[in-house]
Structure 1
Amino acid sequence: MISSIFRALRLTIISLVFFSGVYTLVIYGAAQLAPGKGKGDTIVSNGHRYYTNIGQAFTSDGYFNSRPSAVGYNAAGSGGSNKGPTNAAYLAEVQARIDTFLVHNPGVGKADIPVELVTASGSGLDPDLTVKAATIQVKRIAMQRHISEAALNQLIRRYTAKPMLGPDRVNVLQLNLALDRLQPKL
């Protein structure tokens, strides 16, 4: 029995050293080879540093709106709301988002709103939208900024990523920064 305790203790110490030391150093070393050296993919625009892989809050009618966040776009508290699709509070929250979207996007029907514009993701930090979710906002932005819809659609096409797997997507931050380069902030 004593020998079993010593073996268990030895395994615990070896695991502690490996997982809190060696493994950590290996992961840190691998991160140094990645873009941004493990600190994330960033863009600097007008003196501000933005993380392109973390959703940002854009609520002005002159910008493409991001996907809603259950955590207020706080990367330190990544997570979903954990409310189920039959939860009354969740349904009320989604309905409020639908109503707000319809007010700010006249001419769009409720059935035409992509689900990602009114529901938060599992992480609450998704930086991307589908092309459909970006395109449905074009009319509103064109009216606010006095830019042609064709120019905005071209901007969306330019910033559309076409991954090998999954749907085409548009990074909202990059799209909005390009929009500001096309026409300065409102």
Structure 2
Amino acid sequence: MIRSIRPAIVMVALFTLMLGLAYPLAVTGIAQGVFPAQANGSLIRDADGTVVGSSLIGQPFAGEGYLHPRPSAAGDGYDGAASSGSNYGPLNEDLKTRVAESAREIRAANGGGPIPADAVTTSASGLDPDISPEYARLQIQRIATARGVSVQEIQAVIDEHTEGALLGFIGQPHVNVLVTNRALDARFPTPAA
């Protein structure tokens, strides 16, 4: 009987060492060596070294002098432990009401004009850190007024932080809200900043 069980025990031990220890350590070592920032969560730090966020996870910004992110359905907003979309279908009355309310708020804060879809819809995870360049442009006048600078100066910062599609064809152009807001604070500090 022991002779029959022995190969199974050896294989379990071998695969546990290979796949449970060696492989994860190798992948972690390679990731730390080749992509250390990404392997550690793409953390963004302030001048003192304090972590202020991650470029991969959205944060709420409500001040007049900041880019506002897209809505979040993750918990109370951008809660990583409650990551999820609303799962409302296009005919759901709650979704229609929320989108209409968001559109009214955006028009009141940023003036008229077309509102991009990402300004009123949540992402699948509820944690999307990026907005479309169109939504960023819609907010320029409000930000410029709040910071007391020209529209062209705010447009220049947004243009500098607009990233194109990966490899020119994967995904859409986007603006990272946290990174751009930090650049705005660095270049045009507000009295509260």
Alignment TM-score > 0.5, same fold: yes
8 Å Cα contact 2:147/2:189 also seen in 1? no
Residue of structure 2 equivalent to 1:38:
39
Please give the alpha-carbon distance, in whole angstroms, between the structure 1 residues aligned to 2:108 and 2:133. 21
Residue of structure 2 equivalent to 1:55:
58
C-alpha distance 30-99 of structure 1, shift in aligned 2 (>3 A) = same
Aligned ranges for residues 159-178 of structure 1 at < 5 Å? 159-162=161-164, 163-164=166-167, 165=169, 166-178=171-183
Q: Which runs of 5+ in 1 are unaligned?
A: 1-5
TM-score computed with the length of structure 1 as normaliser: 0.83
1:100 corresponds, among 80, 96, 105, to: 105
Displacement of 1:157 after TM fit?
1.1
1:5-60: CA deviation from partner (whole Å, max 9, x where unpaired): x9999988877666544443343333323232622112212544121111111111
State the one-letter code of the partner of 1:57: P
Please give the alpha-carbon distance, in whole angstroms, between the structure 1 residues aligned to 2:187 and 2:20. 48
Aligned ranges for residues 46-85 of structure 1 at < 5 Å? 46-47=47-48, 48-49=50-51, 50-71=53-74, 72-85=77-90
Greater RCO (CA < 8 Å, at least 6 residues apart): 1
TM-score computed with the length of structure 2 as normaliser: 0.80
Residue of structure 2 equivalent to 1:135:
137
State the one-letter code of the partner of 1:155: V
- Three-state SS of the structure 2 residue aligned to 1:170 is strand
1:99-120: CA deviation from partner (whole Å, max 9, x where unpaired): 11111112x23xx101101111
Q: Sequence identity of aligned pairs in percent?
A: 35
Please give the alpha-carbon distance, in whole angstroms, between the structure 1 residues aligned to 2:12 and 2:70. 44
8 Å Cα contact 2:70/2:131 also seen in 1? yes
Residue of structure 2 equivalent to 1:149:
151
Aligned ranges for residues 12-23 of structure 1 at < 5 Å? 19-23=19-23
Residue of structure 1 equivalent to 2:25:
25
Residue of structure 2 equivalent to 1:181:
186
Please give the alpha-carbon distance, in whole angstroms, between the structure 1 residues aligned to 2:65 and 2:181. 9
- Three-state SS of the structure 2 residue aligned to 1:124 is coil
Give the aligned CA root-mean-square deviation in angstroms.
Answer: 2.6
Please give the alpha-carbon distance, in whole angstroms, between the structure 1 residues aligned to 2:82 and 2:11. 33
